[in-house]
Copies of this chain bind each other. A is one copy, B any other.
Amino acid sequence: MESSHINPKLRRQKASIDIEALFESIQQGNISALSQAITLVESTAGKDSAFAKAILGKALPYSGDSFRLGITGVPGVGKSTFIESLGSTLIESGRKVAVLAIDPSSSITRGSILGDKTRMEELVKSEKAFIRPSPAGTTLGGVARKTREAIVLCEAAGFDFIIIETVGVGQSETAVHSMTDFFLLLKLAGAGDDLQGIKRGIMEMADMIVINKADGENQTAAKHAKREFQNALHLLPEKEHGWSTKVLTASGLNHLGIEEVYQKITEFQNYTNESGSFENRRNNQELFWLHQTIEDQLKSEFYNRPEIQLLIEKLERQVLEKKITAFEAAERLLKS
């Protein structure tokens, strides 16, 4: 798609990209320009990094004016169909929807989620939607950074509803939670995807739980699961921002309950805007990523030093053999 629609002018200038022209195209909502800019940001080639910085610098002042929705759920829960269904509701309400993905498990195969774009046929066809698969990356931190930067570019291109999808491998849900305004957990009734199998901490992150595939014979089980989740949520401590997690049933396939989902999201948006917790959460997220990046970098620089790599295994062994304390081992590593 990107290659056939791409502006030939932008393409020719690959060796020396005209950032002004590219940014102008992005602001006009040109999807190809947006795609090209995201590719620049995702690029690991050294020559692209100055362009990436320049385009981000231009986009940044125009970013932030969107609602960022995180969605997670195990494979098979119906994420694509749900997002397609929610997306069409959003577009009907006049929103412009960008769908991005974080999937660290696909760093080798590239794009296991959203890779098959035909899974969101309607959204792909719409001019008011933009779909981008998971960026490649060797670390979750790297993937998360690229996704955060893609959000900035999408917002500068006028997308005012950003959906970040993840399959929830490792810490990816925490990463998505740390870059979105609202975190939605998609579940199935029964089928092993019930309360018992829920990942630690995930329920505390969720602002909404949707029992998907609540259609046909599944409806009774879905209602039961909804009650179960509601009971479980009562046992959790209240969130700082005072919003109590909502549990809904829906069918992405049959477009049932989707309007209610959107309505509750709007309620949340109004509620947190009024209380100031919306802006608060955004600011905290910015500072979180600033400090997280610093700490990741400090750690990786430290542990990648050849002298540390030589020493660390030996010291770890000595600690486990009670020859030195963990604290002394740490001191020796830090001194070397």
Contact = CB atoms under 8 A, between A and B. Distances in A.
Given A235-B235, A286-B319, 13 more contacts: A56-B328, A60-B322, A200-B204, A200-B237, A231-B235, A287-B316, A289-B327, A290-B315, A290-B316, A293-B327, A294-B330, A294-B334, A297-B330
**Size class of the contact patch on chain A:** 35 or more
Contact of A325 (B152, B299, B327): B152
A328 B56 CA distance: 10
A316 B288 CA distance: 11
Contacts of A152: 325
Contacts of A19: none
A320 B290 CA distance: 11
**Chain copies in complex:** 2
Contacts of A145: 327
Interface string A125-159: 00000000000000000000100110010000000
Interface in A277-291: 283, 286-287, 289-291
B326 A149 contact: no
Interface in A196-222: 196-201, 204
A-B pairs with lowest CB-CB distance, top 9: A293-B330, A289-B326, A290-B326, A232-B235, A298-B298, A294-B330, A286-B319, A60-B322, A286-B326
A14 interface: no
Contacts of A232: 235
Query: A-side binding surface: helix, strand, loop or mixed?
Result: helix
A64 interface: yes
30 contacts: A53-B328, A56-B325, A56-B328, A57-B324, A60-B324, A60-B325, A61-B322, A61-B323, A148-B326, A148-B327, A152-B325, A198-B237, A201-B201, A232-B235, A235-B235, A287-B326, A289-B327, A289-B330, A290-B315, A290-B316, A290-B319, A290-B326, A290-B329, A291-B330, A293-B327, A294-B334, A295-B298, A297-B330, A297-B334, A298-B299
A120 interface: no
Contacts of A329: 290
B327 A286 contact: no
Nearest to A238: B196
Interface string A272-314: 0000000000010011011101110111001000000000000
Nearest to A232: B235
A195 interface: yes
A334 B290 CA distance: 11
A195 B235 contact: yes
